[in-house]
Amino acid sequence: MTIPMLFTPLQLRDVTFANRITVAPMCQYSAVDGFANDWHLVHLGALAKGGFAAVMTEAAAVQETGRITHGDIGLWSDAHAEALRPIIDFIRANGALAGIQLAHAGRKAAMQRPWRGNGPLGEADHALGDDPWAVMAPSAVPVTEGWLMPREMTPADIARLAEDFASAARRADALGCEFVEIHSGHGYLLQSFLSPLSNKRSDAYGGDRRGRSRALLEVAEAVRGAWPEGKPLFVRISSVDGFEGGWEIGDSVELAKDLKALGVDVIDCSSGGNQGASKVSAGAPLPAGYQLPYAQAIRQGAGIATQGVGLILDGPQAEAALQAGQADLIAIGRQALFDPFWPRHQAYDMGVNAFADWPEQYGWWLNRRERSIQAIREQG
């Protein structure tokens, strides 16, 4: 039979992705003082057994004040890296590539965990032990009314940021990660530099698109210099702001060209988030695969590999996106929470490798059960 493209390998530099399905970074808000723990091991470990080619951690802050919430993991010290080591080891031992998303929340730091309000930390959070800290951004512009007022970053702050991203990348390499992703989406620090809605600077880091891109490009250059040549580098972006006068898809195409020139291999194409709930993700129910057109426009316009994400619900839908040239990789997020074995179940439904590549502890039994399952279906 012809193997669906979804289950064919993809080579990026010296790293081979066994199929085209990855785990999107999903914050769990369950760390303590930035340290990953057993929750993260079980959560990511289950996904590693699920047949994904690659498992990416949630956003790992490169500075302590760069966490979104008190529950975020960090990679700003060697001790934080060591807390991640058993998780990375387990992911790799179970057949998936391991990646870490490197991030700084910027003006969206010091937030409540989603189930505690998903807004800025305030007096009500003090009783829970979650006090706010000072936040910074390209300009002294809060996310929206009632949010913390950020301090405008200095050029020295921006230089330090690039150094800290590079240091975190070195720690990820020492852990054995095969890829890392720079988070420049969803209104977090690097994306807030990109958007004219949040970047009001008049120096070299503001003004036109190129100026507003400078901070991200400097971070990408620093990370690429610290990251092994043979390992791929991803960058997640908000392809559009979704607000009038904001960042547009044409900006993303030009940015992708600049990032490609610096050695970035994949653009991970999300959207929105610059000013709280974006029009891109609010209002009427979203259609399946609603962000795939962004990935296609960037892939075609910049000549760079893209990762598609956003309400991709089943294998045939993902296969159609790949066949149409919309993306090179498909990232599964919340659907993976619903079904941690999503790739294996989709392969089964699409007639690929029934149980041959499942973990032996599962596949041995399921393969022997299959004849009875098929007989029951034929009788029904």
For residue 238, list its beta bridge partners. 270
Catalytic, out of 188, 205, 294, 348: 188
**The residue to which tokens 């973990």 are assigned:** 359
Neighbours of 229 (CB within 10 A): 9
Separation CA 325–CA 312 (nearest Å): 15
Residues 6+ apart with CB under 8 A from 106: 66, 135, 136, 137, 138, 150, 187, 188, 189, 190, 192
Annotation says 205 is catalytic: no
Separation CA 152–CA 155 (nearest Å): 10
Buried b (16+ CB within 10 A) or exposed e, 146-182: ebbebeebeeeebeebbebbbbbbbbbbebebbbbbb
Q: Cβ distance 51 to 65 under 8 Å?
A: no
**The residue to which tokens 């941690």 are assigned:** 340
- Residue 57: closest CA among 93, 77, 33, 81: 81
Q: What DSSP string runs through 341-358?
A: THHHHHHHHTTS-SSTTS
Point out the residues that are catalytic: 188
